[in-house]
Chains A and B, each alone.
Chain A
Amino acid sequence: MADKTNVPRLNMRYGLIYTSSEVGRKIKEIKIPELNQKYFILRAESLQGENLLEFAGSQMPVMAKDAVMYEEEPIVAVIAPDYESAAIARREIAIETGEEEISEEASLYQEDYGWGNIEDFRLGWKETIKREKPAESVIKEEEKEEKAAEADEEKSGEGEEKEDTEKEEVAAEEEKTEEEEEVIIHEYKKVSTTFSLDPIKYTSFTFFSATCWSEGSSLHVMVPTQYPKLVADTVARVTGFDRRKIIIHTSQYSETSDEYLFYPAIIASITASASLSMKCPVEIKTRAINRRGAIKTKRITYLNNDLRPIAEEVVHTLDIGAYQMLEREVERHAMTGIIPSYPLQAFKASIKIEKSFNFPSFIYSSMGYSEALAATEYHSSVLAKEIGMSPYEFRLWALKDKRKFTDYLPATQMGDIKRLLTDIAMKSSFSRKWSSNDLGRSNPSLLGYTKGIGIAAGTGIAGFSTSFVTEHEYQAKLTYTQRGAIVVDTSAYSRGTAVNFWKKILKEELELPSEDSVLFSNNDHSTIDSGPKILSRFICSFSKQLQTNARKLKSLKETEKLPIAITFDVENRFFPCEFDESAYAAMAIEVMLPETSFSPKVKEVWAEYSVGLIADSAILTSSIKQLILRTLIECGMEIDSSLRINISFVRRDAEGIASVVSVTKAIVISSLSSALEQAIGKRVTLPISAEDILHLRRKGDEN
């Protein structure tokens, strides 16, 4: 629920934001129509303070000053006596931009990680054969390397599913002795894939407004926000107003993809600036937006003679839009997802963060983990196909009982994931459907449709990385009062399901008589900064920390007098890896592609989760369903009344609090990609439309 604040409407002015689609160009001139004194025009130059939004060390301008960097970037705010006048005045505004696109620095940010020596696998393995006579044809070492390099280029250039190369034998004369030794270099069988996700540019019709007014010496800001402190800081920076006198009121919102994280802070600071300039209350209305940039993963797996993966190299490229925000953190998330679960002797991954003239898109319900895990899982399915197994059989065969411990994830128990996969494969009749769909695709006109089924599994993560939380302190305070009540001091959005869950944890851990003994205090957001409400931090990381610290408080209570207070980190700063596993999940998705419409339809979804503590399985099921449906729609699927979603849970032998968001998104994208690929018979890029499928089919016919 929203703050019950009475907004003074008397003398209120209303505003809209002018944006331009001429992105990546210098602003030459902004033509403003002649307006009377009732109107007010705000541009970057008229802001009282700095034109800057800062989020965890990353910065971006609030309004476009010299150049338009992304389509939704505020250029001008038009304030008028009413929204109608503002809308008409906005239509009269014109922008003149330079003809040439601003040349961006080519890159970027790149981070590599891996183990073993990938070079050994790129070259192939050597076999020494002893011969009595010296070989007649000698190929020099340089030539051999050239050949190998050429072959490599050819294969990675194609970048498609299959690169079933024949073993090339390159002979080299190593040494000339009496008994000649010949070294034959065998290339490893390679399977390479390119997994692409197109940007999500869908804008919902949901709008929000930021309202600002002055009362005495205070400036009140009312806006829906996932991070009130960011709004307060940005308003203070942009207006130059005393930070301590800015009061933030959070209005009601429902975030589907973190659209209320930083855009409201931008709009609120523009509104505040206009309000202070005009000396009257101002409200600015705009659409709630967030975007995901393009993602591309190129991966090569080297297989040994048994067709087991032994080495892998990956280049994962993410476009995070016009401003590089939190690029290090995005890299850590993506790297965590890009490391495969099957054992490898050598692995090398490069995460490349790219800039573009798109909406800054570093957090879209995920910071890149879900998409990276989807790419990894998709590759497993392609690998399976290449070596003649079903994706389910391959996973059982390739996964060991424990995953390799890396800097990013601990040595996860793979046995749980295998069990989930087996359950899902049984429930969905995966193996049978997998084989029959392949047959059905050969003659789609006979049935009038083609079908596909995909499977995926993975581990979930939540919150920020350990490295990030050591750099940025987000805290909360727990006080045991003399009256036996527990007060939690946090700037976190302390309403909704998460809070009920926290109350339950505290009641159980501290053996309180009722949940009413737990009070949340967040009246002053400036007291304790618990960080933004994103990435399931509050449901997962915060809950875990709350549990640990409640136990500490309990033991302190036995030795010390009340009241006792402890301040703790919202996330675990001392975890040995960047992330802790939060839940395991497996999923199968079946799709149907009718030949009459080319609109892919999801027929059925099977999902199983292995989680520790389940507060309310019905609520959890419902929220997972919502997440699955939302992700399917984001991927361009049509949902009709025949769709069935089957969700089940397996209790894990752990008391950990799980977040299933990141893993659900990942396995939906991955299993859907595999299913569509089977139905269409071509590599797909999500989100996909009927037009894209027609294009893919046509390409196939021409070939």
Chain B
Amino acid sequence: MENEKLVKQLTSHDPVRGAGMTRRNLLKGVGAGALALGASMGLPQMARAERELAMLTWDGYVDPRVLDGFTDQYDTQIKYELHTSDPDSVNKLRAGQTAIWDIINLNNPWAREMMWPENLIVELDRGRFEPYFDKMLPMFKPPYKWAMSLDEQHLLGVCQRVDTFDFVVNTDVISAEMGKDEGWDLFNNPDMKGRYGILAYDNWNIMHMCMQAGIHPFKAKSDDEVAKFEETARNAINGAKMISDDFVAINLALINGEIDMYFGGGTYSISAARLDGLSNLYHVVPKSGPADGKGGINWIELSSVVNNPTLHSKAFDWMEYILQPDTSYHVGTAGGFLLPVGQLADPEVLAKFSKEELDSFQWDEFDYRIEHAVEYDVVPDYNRLYDIYTAALREKS
């Protein structure tokens, strides 16, 4: 018995057997590997003061000048993800990504109508942030509707980039005045078939096709209106020479005479080209339209703080940082998108923009555009209209 025990001990310490592949060795190896991985990845993170500030955003806030400025000032790194669309990012938060993101920057209706009621964002301190609204363009005077909860009690975000998004013409072919007078009917005109493009920002295309159909995009539609939308959408898609989600490609087509106009478009898509001297690319807001008599659509970007259970300690500092004059200028000229910002009412911010930069986003017409535009909102019946839109795209003839 003793001998048997001794043999077992000897074999269990046999260096040759020990070097072979056994389940125990494998598990030992995996365990050691996991420990090493943890040591190389997890432990230094634990040792760091705090993780990166995480941001779901449109392109205005990812300019290196904006990001680096915050990093320098607050010693905080930023990671970000650009949106595909507003609803896409809202659905990410709904799917549980509130635990990942600290800041979300979306167009106006989502904070007030979706994210706050669904507890996806937190409110801002009105005492700290409302003074910034006083310095913005008059339309943002506090309490500003789109920054407030439906009961007007809670401040949900801060505003910055603002404009309308409608259609663009080449003024060498179609005058700006003609575009404003004819409005969306230009795209219904059979003579224009094959002479226009569509910038495929699909959710905007739905709104613009409503305008072309003479339907208010932000009101519930009757069956007759849906049928009218379908007829208009099919005509608009079948009549388009090209459809592209790349505004550089569509601007090139416009410049080179492939097309004479396109929707949706606006300063967002042409300001960089206009700054390069292509002032014949022109953002048109119709003088009239079916949305309470208006034909333009006004968007306002709102930055909000996500209801993250482990919210970054600098999240609210970021909200204040982006409202500073230098940052406002950098956001307004970020990444080749030159756009008006609410802070342009502040002479210090206005002075930072050159005349060419102001011309690039048709600043002289800004008040006209806002006056003739309805504010962007959630589109009722969107799913139904979108299915019609995609079917029309597939069946394009």
Do chains A and B stick together as partners? no
Point out residues on A near B: beta carbons under 8 Å: none
Point out residues on B near A: beta carbons under 8 Å: none
